[in-house]
Amino acid sequence: MNRLYKKLVLLPAVMTIGCTSGDKNSSLPNNNSQLAQYKAMLEYTPKVKNKLSVTSNNQQSFNVSGMVTLASISVKFFSNNNCNESALAASVTMNGGAQGTVFNSGTYTSTNLSNYALCGRYSNGTTSNSGCSGMYTDFTNNQIQSIRFDYSYAAASGGPGLIAGNCMSGSSSSLYKEAIIDWSNGGSPWAECSNGTACGFSQAYSVNLPTTYTTQPAITVLPIANWQTPMGSAFAFNASITGGSSRVTPDITGLSGGIISPTYCDLDSSSNSSCVFIITPYANTGDYSFWNPSSTDNSMDVDNPSAVPFNELNLTINTSTSTTVNGSAAPLVINNISGTVIAPYIYLPAPTEGAATESNIGITWGSGGAIDPRFEYINDSCIDALRDNLTGLEWLANASQVGGSSWNDAQTMVTDFNDGGGVCGYTDWRLPTINELRSLINYLLIQSGSTPATWLNNNGFDGTVVGGVYWSSNKYNDTTAYVADFSTGETYASLISNTSGGVWPVRGGQ
């Protein structure tokens, strides 16, 4: 991707108007740099009684509690809505001169005039669009979706060093996008900045800058977009830190009572440097935000499952100290995350009712197309195992027969079970995969307030399935593995070393 760093050279007429606004005494003598000219167009509010001003009127501001010397300010434009550097489309850089530009303590807020000067110098090397009209065209075509102001510190303030500003990505009212345009009509479509009287942002933004540059801890959050998960399965993201420590607390909106576990992680680059957060894509038993079995059919075609797309999931990453998150100042708001939930493959309707035929192979179907019976003993001489007539998998009829343990011990327990003779003449029992455990979950009855354990116990397992978690064979990472909770229908990752779960062997399939 071409990245064009455009230097700001302000017009004399703009300079003349701007010199009535900024903190004129905060520049070095004879400083006619691009940054000094830009500063002259900003609205300056001195610090009063240890309080700094706040941004208003849909402008962008930065606050300094003491005198700061900046070598430059860069305004970066991104083609995604989370200021990811890989999507950098254009940049306008305002250099502060040989010794930098001084900013006294207070608040510096953008104005229509300063914004008009910035958008006039916009140039996108990928789309070849430039100026205020080019920025609006790129915004309309989603080539520009987020903006970030980056502040480069001069040697007089502890530099060289860069402090990244907040990621400016709008909200639902701006279609989760941001640009320097004319927002004055209050709704889409908006307009390009055509003069210096109505030129700004979709909402107010503000960032606090330190008086002296110090290295900030950097937090990376992955993945953050375009997830896909089967219904009943949680999805996850990882947060890792370098260069220090901080408490990371995520918050999610767009779910009906969405759950994140753990609620926070204390990260330290010298010890516990990463953490896995699990997001449950539904609220609780009987309250599913994504897939409702009464309105969306179960999946039937393995190549084309029933899927429910979901948008407008918003994730905020908060930190307890001054940090960057994915390159932008914390907190980082990741807007409009999209995802897809796949409806489970259970209760597939039969091609026809009745006994198995050439066109209705291998199973007897009951009234209405349901599999009947769903579970039956694997043969007449052994009642210690049940076959699932939907999947062909064979399960211990007593789900509690092997017992429970940590995941590390679960594998050994299944091996010992086979070495002891297994059941029904078979010694090839194993831990089930997480998808095999999901196949036992009746989501329709959960929607009605029941539990997976209750349904299974009423359909052949005779009260042996407990309303708790059972281990799968699938690890999520080095410290966690997936479990299925038969009291709620949830599946998620749990610690393998000190979490106790049920061990329910299965055979066949895979």
Instruction: Specify if 73 maps to a domain.
Output: yes
Instruction: Specify if 415 maps to a domain.
Output: yes
Q: Report strand pairing: 4-7 vs 88-95.
A: parallel
Same domain, 413 and 449: yes
Q: What does the pLDDT read at residue 11?
A: 43
Q: What does the pLDDT read at residue 208?
A: 93
Q: pLDDT at residue 6 above 70?
A: no
Q: What does the pLDDT read at residue 281?
A: 60
Q: pLDDT at residue 327 above 70?
A: yes
Q: What does the pLDDT read at residue 343?
A: 65
Q: What does the pLDDT read at residue 350?
A: 42
Q: What does the pLDDT read at residue 282?
A: 53
Q: What does the pLDDT read at residue 356?
A: 44
pLDDT band at 47 (very low <50, low <70, confident <90, very high): confident
Q: pLDDT at residue 172 above 70?
A: yes
Give residue-wise pLDDT tens across range 464-503.
888 889 999 888 888 888 899 999 888 888 888 888 999 9
Q: pLDDT at residue 7 above 80?
A: no
Same domain, 405 and 295: no
Q: pLDDT at residue 287 above 60?
A: no
Q: pLDDT at residue 87 above 60?
A: yes
Q: Give the rounded percent of residues in the chain with a pLDDT score beyond 90.
A: 49
Give residue-wise pLDDT tens across range 213-262.
999 999 999 876 666 666 555 677 889 999 999 999 998 887 665 568 78
Same domain, 315 and 391: no
Mean pLDDT confidence for 322-334: 91
Measure the CA–CA gap between 503 and 40, rounded to whole angstroms. Answer: 70
Same domain, 404 and 293: no
Instruction: Specify if 118 maps to a domain.
Output: yes
Same domain, 142 and 273: no
Same domain, 77 and 205: yes
Domain interval for residue 198: 1-214
**32 half-sphere exposure, CB direction, 13 A CA radius:** 7
How many CB atoms sit inside 10 A of residue 82's CB? 25
Instruction: Specify if 351 maps to a domain.
Output: no
Task: Name which of 88-92, 150-154, 201-205, 435-439 the model is least confident about.
Answer: 435-439
pLDDT band at 187 (very low <50, low <70, confident <90, very high): confident
Same domain, 36 and 185: yes
Instruction: Specify if 355 maps to a domain.
Output: no
Q: Exposed e or buried b for every residue in 394-415, given b needs 16+ CB within 10 A?
A: bbbbbbbebebbbbebbeebbe
Task: Name which of 172-181, 305-314, 381-390, 445-454 the model is least confident about.
Answer: 305-314
Q: What does the pLDDT read at residue 229?
A: 67
Q: pLDDT at residue 316 above 50?
A: yes
Q: Among 180, 178, 181, which Cα is nearest to 191's? A: 181
Instruction: Specify if 294 maps to a domain.
Output: yes
Same domain, 315 and 452: no
* Under 8 Å between Cβ of 422 and 414: no
Last residue of a domain, one of 214, 245, 279: 214
Instruction: Specify if 358 maps to a domain.
Output: no
Q: What does the pLDDT read at residue 18?
A: 36
* Under 8 Å between Cβ of 76 and 17: no
Please return the burial class of 235, using the count of CB atoms within 10 Å of its CB with bins 0-12, 13-18 and 19+: middle
Same domain, 181 and 326: no
* Bigger pLDDT: 59 vs 365: 59
Q: pLDDT at residue 134 above 60?
A: yes
Number of domains in the chain: 3
SS3 of residue 410 by DSSP: helix
Residue with tokens 């779910």: 255
Global confidence as pTM: 0.65
Same domain, 372 and 338: no
pLDDT band at 359 (very low <50, low <70, confident <90, very high): very low
* Under 8 Å between Cβ of 211 and 67: yes
Measure the CA–CA gap between 297 and 326, rounded to whole angstroms. Answer: 38
Last residue of a domain, one of 214, 231, 262: 214
Task: Name which of 54-63, 337-346, 444-453 the model is least confident about.
Answer: 337-346
Peptide bond into 46 cis (omega under 30): no
Give the torsion sign (CA, 58, 62, 65, 69).
negative
Instruction: Specify if 356 maps to a domain.
Output: no
Q: Which domain CATH number covers 240?
A: 2.60.40.10
Same domain, 138 and 168: yes
Mean pLDDT confidence for 136-146: 96
pLDDT band at 318 (very low <50, low <70, confident <90, very high): very high
Q: Among 291, 297, 305, which Cα is nearest to 256's? A: 291
Same domain, 329 and 466: no
pLDDT band at 55 (very low <50, low <70, confident <90, very high): low
Q: What does the pLDDT read at residue 221?
A: 92
Please return the burial class of 271, using the count of CB atoms within 10 Å of its CB with bins 0-12, 13-18 and 19+: exposed
Q: pLDDT at residue 297 above 70?
A: no
Q: What does the pLDDT read at residue 2?
A: 42
Q: Give the rounded percent of residues in the chain with a pLDDT score beyond 70.
A: 76
Distances from the Cα of 492 to the Cαs of 171, 236, 333, in angstroms? 30, 9, 24
Task: Name which of 55-59, 273-277, 418-422 the model is least confident about.
Answer: 55-59
Last residue of a domain, one of 214, 230, 245: 214
pLDDT band at 269 (very low <50, low <70, confident <90, very high): very high
Distance of CA 116 to the CA centre of its chain: 33
